[in-house]
Amino acid sequence: MSKVTVVGAGNVGATAANVIALREVADEVVMIDIKEGVSEGKAMDMMQTANLLDMNTCINGVTNYYEATANSDVVVITSGIPRKPGMTREELIGVNAGIVKQVTESVLKHSPNAVIVCVSNPMDTMTYLIHKISGLPKNRIIGMGGALDSSRFKYYLSKALNANPNEVEGFVIGGHGDTTMIPMKRYAAYRGIPVSTLLDAETLDKVVADTMVGGATLTKLLGTSAWYAPGAATAEVVEAVIHDQKCMIPCSALLEGEYGEKDLCIGVPCILGKGGIEKIVELDLNEEEKALFAKSAAAVHKTNEALPA
C-alpha cells in the first residue's frame, strides 16, 4: 500500500492531491491543514467524484492530526502564505520558514522514512531549510519548482510554434524566481528538432522572458498564486518517486560540488525514483549558461541568508 501526505489543503495542495488521486499514483492520499474543516471538506468533495471518474484512490482529510499521516512514502509540503500581486517569492521567507520548520518536524515524527517534496515559497530556500533542520539524506528532499517552470516553458514554446504541447521538449534550471530561473533554449526541441532552427532569436527570447514571469503573470491575473499547473507539477514529481520511474525532471536539489556550487538547493536536472533524487545530471553548460547559473546561484545564496538563525 502506497501513501502520500499533502500538507496544506489550499489551492495548490488540494489540486496536487486531486491529480495524484485521479492518476491513481498512490493507494491513499491524506490532506492535512491547520484550518478546521477545509481538508475534510475538500477530501469529501473529491471522494464524491470517485464513482463518476472511476477513481480508486482513497482521499482522507484531517485537521492538524499528524498521526493520520503515519508511514507516508512521500510527504508534500505546500504550507505557507501564497503570493499576492506585486510580491516576490522571497518576501514570503519570514512567515513561511517558521511554518515549514514546524511541518517538517511533525511529519518526520510519524513518517521518518518519507521522501519530502517542498512546494512552499521561496521554494529553493525552503528546500534548503528542510535539509538543515531534518538531517535527512540529500536524496530524500526535493524542491518542486523546476518541474513547474519547465511546464510553463513548454507551454510558451508550444504557443510560439503553434504546436501540440505534448510534442515539445524543454526544461528550466536555476532558482525558482522571476529573475533567477534559466529556460534552456539551447536544449529545447519540437519532435527532436532544435527549436532554435524553427523560431527566430527574437521570438525565442520572448518565450524565455514570458516563462520567467509566468508565475507573476498569473498572480496578477488571478490575484493570488496559480494552482492548477503547480498542483500537477507536484503530482508529476510524486508519481516519479512512488512508481520508481527514473524520470529526468528539473528539481531543486542540494548541490555538493555539482555545477561548481555547494551548500545550495537550486534547480538542476535530476533522475527521480524510489529513493527520491537518485542522480543529479550535470549538463555541459556553455559560457553564457555558466554565467547565468552563477548569477542565479548567488541570488539564492543571498535569499538563504535571510533565514532565521
Catalytic site residues? 176
Alpha-carbon span 53 to 55, nearest angstrom = 5
Distances (CA, A) of 282 to 20, 75, 192, 298: 29, 27, 21, 19
Enumerate residues 6+ apart whose C-beta is below 8 A from 199. 160, 161, 207
- Residue 232 contacts residue 258 (beta carbons within 8 Å): no
**Residue 120 DSSP SS3:** coil
Count CB-CB contacts under 10 A for residue 221: 10
Other Cβ atoms closer than 10 A to 272 = 28
- Residues in contact with 221: Cβ distance below 8 Å, sequence separation at least 6, in sequence order: none
For residue 303, give every residue at least 6 positions away whose Cβ sits within 8 Å of its Cβ, in sequence order, or none. 90, 93, 122, 124, 125
